[in-house]
Every structure is written in structure tokens, then in C-alpha cells.
């Protein structure tokens, strides 16, 4: 057993896992505020990346400005999606809400690809591809940047949830009726959580766009993001971060052991297995608090 190699796998896995967390934070924000599992998060991620590309390449804005502008666009879009599509389904059975987000996912993905096409393009953030060595371990710089963004966002949200607006959002997550009774606009709060989740999706989209190019494959993140969110407890941002690191390590180390045995491509299998095991053994995840619908 090569311990350095194992540590390198684990470290890089953890960094990749933090990128999943970045994606999962968006899911958690929406689920926390409105108990809606947003299966369209992957499409939003992809759309965010495409908007940045369109603004920087086709319009010719500098990248930082394109990202800023895209954040504003995504914020508005998230707000709009909630207003138009989700609000009318409030209180309906979960299956219809689930289908609505799936429909949105398909629609957004189809529209994005119809406008910009499916050929892979990459966003160049200007991160060097020079290998970075810590001791004997090789670390991918861009993953390090992505993990940094995830951690920064996590801290930002932790601080945000201590502000007055953040506390109101948490109040909404707790009890709609009581929120209305003290004059909190639940509708605006849920809309805000969608808007924030869309901006988080943009961040995830930009980082992933740099790593693997902007194309359809971005929507494959959904399973991993969902698994991270569920493992973390679906309504805990801290959970999403911790679960991301755990899943990243399990996936990277596990794939290294399994791939030679099954002939490659075992990552998806590991992720799906983690999802099933989590739901079966501990449906409320590591940090979740909601009462789970157990049979």
C-alpha cells in the first residue's frame, strides 16, 4: 500500500468533492426555504456557464465583468422561475413539484443548447495548469481554486444567515404560517432563495466550465450534487460541505480500487450506491433535521 498515493487520492477527492458541495449548496438553499428538491439545478449550472461564455466571447466583455453581469441575470432568472413556475404549485403533492423541476431542467437545457449549441467550449479563468506539489502529492490547481470558492461561499452563507434577512429566511424554513403572522413575506423569501441558488449555480458552472468544458456533461452533475445534498441532510449547508468532502474521498479512493476490477467507470456506481445507502440507513443525512417520511 502506497500511503502517499492514497493521501493524494483522498486530498484530490476532497477537493473535487468540494466542487460537488458548491453544486449542492444551491439545492440546499431552495430545499431549506421551500422543501422543493430542485432537479433543475444542473440545468441552471449549465445555463450559468453558457451565459458567462456568451457575455465574454460573443459580447466581448472582460471575464470578471461577464461573471458579475451573469450573476445579476441568474439572480433575476431564479427569482422569475420561482414566481412563474413553482409558486402556483405550492402545497401540491411532491410528485408534481418534482416533475415541474424536471420539466424546467429539460426546458432550460434544451433552450440553452438550442441557442448556443452543444459543442464543448471552456471558460479560461487563467488558472495555471502547472502541477502543484505538496510534499510528494500532486494537486490540481483549478480544483484547489474551486474548493476555495466553495469554502468562501459556505462562509458567506453562514454569515448571511446571521443577518436580519438571513434570519428571516431561516424563519421561513421553520414555519410558513408563523412567518406570515409576523409580517415576513414568505413568497419573497422563497424567491430570494431561488435567486441565490441560481447565483450559486453560476459559480459552480464557471468552475466546472474551466475544468471540463461547458457542455451537456454539466448536467451529469445532478446525481452527484443530489447525493451530496442528501448525505448532508438536504437542509444543511454545513452538511453539504462535509458530505461533499466525504463523497469526493469515497469516490476517488473507491474508484481507484474498483476500476481495475470492473473495467473502469465505477464512479457513478459508487455515487449511486452512496445515495441508496444514505436513504436506506440515514434518510435525514448527516446534519439534516427534518422528520423524514418514513413508512
Partner 1 sequence: MFYRLSGVYHTSYASDSRIFKVPADRNLAVFFLLFGLAAPFIVPSIYLNSYMLPWLIWTAAALGLNLVTGWAGQLHLGYAAVMAVGAYSAVHAARFGVPWEFALIIGGLASSVIGSLFAFAALRVKGLYLALTTLAMQFIMDWVLHHSPTVTGGSHASLQSPTLALLGQPITSDAGFYYVAFGWCVLVTIFMLNLKRTGLGRALVAVREKDYAAAILGVNSFYYKILAFAASSFIAGVSGALLVATFFFLATPEQFSVAVSIQALAMVIVGGLGSIIGSYFGVALILLVPGVINNLVAAIAHTLGAQVNVETLAHIPNAAYGALIVIILLIEPLGLGKLYGNIREYLMVWPFDQFRK
Partner 2 sequence: MQEKVEAQHILSMNSVEVLYDNVMLAIKGVSIQVPKGAMIALLGSNGAGKSTTLKAISGLLKAERGRVSRGEIQFEATDITEMLAQNRVEMGICHVIEGRRVFEHLTPDENLIAAAPAGMSRSALDAEKDKIYDYFPRLAERRNSHAGYLSGGEQQMLAIGRALVTQPSLLMLDEPSLGLAPFLVEEIFGIIQQINQKEGMSVLLVEQNALAALEIVSEGYLIENGRVVMHGTAEALKANSDIQEFYLGGGEGIDFHDVKHYSRRKRWLS
Residues contributing to the site for partner 2 (CB under 8 A): 164, 167-168, 170-171, 173-185, 289
Between 89 and 125, whose beta carbon lies closer to partner 1? Answer: 89
Half-sphere exposure of 152 (CA within 13 A, CB side): 9
What is the smallest separation between the CB atom of 17 and partner 1, expressed in angstroms? 18
The per-residue DSSP string of 228-264 comes to HHHHHTSS-HHHHHHHHHHHHHHHHHHHHHHHHHHTS
Using the rule CB under 8 A, give the single segment among 8-16, 93-101, 141-149, 196-204 that binds partner 1.
Answer: 93-101
* Span near partner 1 by CB under 8 A; candidates 1-9, 67-75, 120-128, 267-275: 267-275
Of residues 115 and 167, the one with the C-beta less far from partner 2: 167
Toward partner 1, which CB reaches closer, 16 or 278? 278
Query: CB 221 → partner 1: shortest distance, Å?
Result: 13
Smallest gap from Cβ 235 to partner 2, in A, equals 10
Sequence-ordered list of residues with C-beta below 8 angstroms from that of 53, at least 6 positions apart, any chain: 116, 121, 123, 209, 214
Q: 78-85, long-range: CB within 8 Å, 24+ apart, which pairs? A: 78/44, 78/191, 78/194, 78/195, 78/196, 78/197, 78/198, 78/199, 79/191, 79/192, 79/194, 79/195, 81/40, 81/194, 81/198, 82/190, 82/191, 82/193, 82/194, 82/195, 83/191
Q: Is there a contact between 26 and 204 (Cβ–Cβ < 8 Å)?
A: yes
CA distance 118 to 291: 41
* Residue 247 in contact with partner 1, rule: CB under 8 A: no
Cβ nearer to partner 2, comparing 88 with 289: 289
Q: Residue 140 or 219: which CB sits closer to partner 1?
A: 219
Query: Which residue among 80, 166, 213, 283 contacts partner 1 (CB under 8 A)?
Result: 283
Rounded Cα–Cα distance for residues 260 and 223 (Å) = 23
3-state secondary structure of 185: coil
294 binds, among partner 2, partner 1, none (CB under 5 to 8 A by kind): partner 1
Which CB, 176 or 194, lies closer to partner 2? Answer: 176
Site for partner 1 in 202-231 (CB under 8 A): 223, 226-227, 230
Q: Give contact residues for partner 1 (rule: CB under 8 A).
A: 37, 84-85, 88-89, 92, 94-96, 98-100, 102-111, 113-115, 117-119, 223, 226-227, 230, 262-263, 265, 268-269, 271-273, 275-276, 279-280, 283, 292-295
Amino acid at each position: 500500500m502506497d500511503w502517499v498515493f492514497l493521501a493524494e487520492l483522498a486530498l484530490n477527492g476532497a477537493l473535487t468533492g468540494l466542487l460537488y458541495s458548491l453544486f449542492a449548496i444551491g439545492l440546499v438553499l431552495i430545499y431549506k426555504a421551500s422543501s422543493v428538491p430542485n432537479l433543475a439545478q444542473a440545468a441552471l449550472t449549465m445555463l450559468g456557464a453558457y451565459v458567462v461564455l456568451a457575455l465574454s466571447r460573443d459580447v466581448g466583455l472582460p471575464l470578471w465583468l461577464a461573471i458579475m453581469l451573469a450573476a445579476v441575470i441568474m439572480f433575476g432568472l431564479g427569482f422569475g422561475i420561482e414566481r412563474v413556475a413553482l409558486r402556483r404549485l405550492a402545497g401540491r403533492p411532491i410528485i408534481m413539484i418534482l416533475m415541474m423541476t424536471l420539466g424546467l431542467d429539460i426546458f432550460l437545457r434544451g433552450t440553452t443548447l438550442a441557442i448556443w449549441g452543444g459543442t464543448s467550449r471552456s471558460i479560461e479563468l487563467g488558472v495555471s495548469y502547472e502541477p502543484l506539489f505538496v510534499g510528494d502529492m500532486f494537486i490540481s490547481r483549478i480544483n484547489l481554486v474551486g474548493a476555495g470558492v466553495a469554502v468562501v461561499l459556505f462562509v458567506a452563507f453562514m454569515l448571511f444567515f446571521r443577518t436580519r434577512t438571513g434570519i428571516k429566511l431561516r424563519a421561513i424554513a421553520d414555519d410558513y404560517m408563523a412567518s406570515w403572522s409576523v409580517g415576513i413575506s414568505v413568497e419573497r423569501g422563497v424567491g430570494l432563495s431561488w435567486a441565490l441558488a441560481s447565483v450559486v449555480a453560476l459559480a459552480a458552472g464557471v468552475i466546472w466550465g474551466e475544468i471540463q468544458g461547458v457542455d451537456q456533461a454539466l448536467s451529469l452533475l445532478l446525481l452527484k450534487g443530489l447525493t451530496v445534498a442528501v448525505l448532508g441532510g438536504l437542509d444543511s449547508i454545513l452538511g453539504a460541505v462535509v458530505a461533499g468532502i466525504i463523497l469526493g474521498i469515497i469516490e476517488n479512493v473507491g474508484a481507484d480500487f474498483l476500476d481495475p476490477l470492473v473495467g473502469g467507470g465505477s464512479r457513478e456506481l459508487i455515487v449511486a450506491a452512496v445515495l441508496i445507502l444514505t436513504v436506506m440507513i440515514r434518510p435525514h443525512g448527516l446534519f439534516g433535521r427534518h422528520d423524514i417520511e418514513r413508512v
